[in-house]
Amino acid sequence: MQDKLNRLLDAYSHLYDIERDVEIAGSHYPAAATYFLRDENYLISKQHVLSAVEQHEYVTFLVIDHLDVPTLKKHIELTKQAGLSRIHPSKEHMCSFVTLVVLANTIDPEAKKLIVRTRYRKNYRMMFHGWMEYHVAAMENSTNSFLSNPAGREARRNLEQNFGSGKKEKKGAN
């Protein structure tokens, strides 16, 4: 699984800052990735900013042999709280995404259902200060299947592009 993680991190490294061996609230994760985009519109020069928007994504990678419901719930809660603590809403904050990407040899059927049903979205000041959304995507290595919650379809597509072999399990939103 380590070679699959390295391949996935290589795909993320073009746009994300990668950090290895991350600890979140006492739990160890092999890697995390951070994305930041700021877009500004100017009036005549850069000293006169008309508007600016910022977009963030915080991705945590979990490599595990077998994923069950209690373990998944624990990691969803830990990564969600860690991501929420990094979000600083302001008038320039457009959106932030907190993502958990799981690489597992096997996943319990109930854990698969939980992945698909997981939903969390938060608006800041009636969206005047942006919003955040929680994404979760997973790959089951033994069956080479991919799944995600509806918000995590981009993370699932990234997994499919890197590890797909034509057989895809379509779970969650397309």
- pLDDT tens for 64-95 read 999 999 999 999 999 999 999 999 999 999 99
CATH number of the domain to which 104 belongs? 3.40.1350
The answer as to whether 84 is a domain residue is yes
The answer as to whether 89 is a domain residue is yes
Dump pLDDT digits (tens) for 5-61. 999 999 999 999 999 999 998 899 999 999 999 888 888 888 888 888 999 999 999
* Cβ-based burial of 132 (10 A; exposed 0-12, middle 13-18, buried ≥19): buried
The answer as to whether 171 is a domain residue is no
- DSSP string of 20-64, one letter each residue: EEEEETTEEEEEEEEEEEEEEEEESEEEEEEEEEEEEEEEEEEEE
The answer as to whether 54 is a domain residue is yes
Q: How confident is the model at residue 167 (pLDDT cuts 50, 70, 90)?
A: very low
- Give the predicted TM-score (pTM) of the model: 0.88
Residue 137 has what pLDDT? 97
The answer as to whether 166 is a domain residue is no
Per-residue pLDDT at 109 exceeds 50: yes
Q: How confident is the model at residue 168 (pLDDT cuts 50, 70, 90)?
A: very low
Report how far apart, in Å, the C-alpha atoms of 148 and of each of 19, 44, 122, 172 are.
Answer: 23, 44, 19, 6
Give the angle 150-81-25 at the CA atoms, nearest 5°. 125
The answer as to whether 26 is a domain residue is yes
Residue 74 has what pLDDT? 96
Number of separate helices (H) and strands (E) present in the chain? 4, 7
What phi, psi does 51 have (nearest 5°)? -155, 155
How does DSSP classify residue 116?
A: H
158 contact partners, CB below 8 Å, separation of at least 6: 8, 11, 12, 137
Residue 26 has what pLDDT? 87
Domain count, the chain: 1
Q: How confident is the model at residue 172 (pLDDT cuts 50, 70, 90)?
A: low
The answer as to whether 138 is a domain residue is yes
Per-residue pLDDT at 174 exceeds 80: no
Determine which of 70-74, 103-107, 125-129, 130-134 has the lowest per-residue pLDDT on average.
Answer: 125-129
CB-CB contact of 141 with 103 (8 Å): yes
CB-CB contact of 53 with 92 (8 Å): yes
- Residue 111: give the domain boundaries: 2-146
Per-residue pLDDT at 123 exceeds 80: yes
The answer as to whether 82 is a domain residue is yes
Report d(CA 28, CA 95) in Å as an integer. Answer: 27
Question: Other CB atoms closer than 10 Å to residue 158's CB: what's the count?
Answer: 20
69 in helix, strand or coil? Answer: helix
CB-CB contact of 117 with 149 (8 Å): yes
Residue 122 has what pLDDT? 94
CB-CB contact of 49 with 42 (8 Å): yes
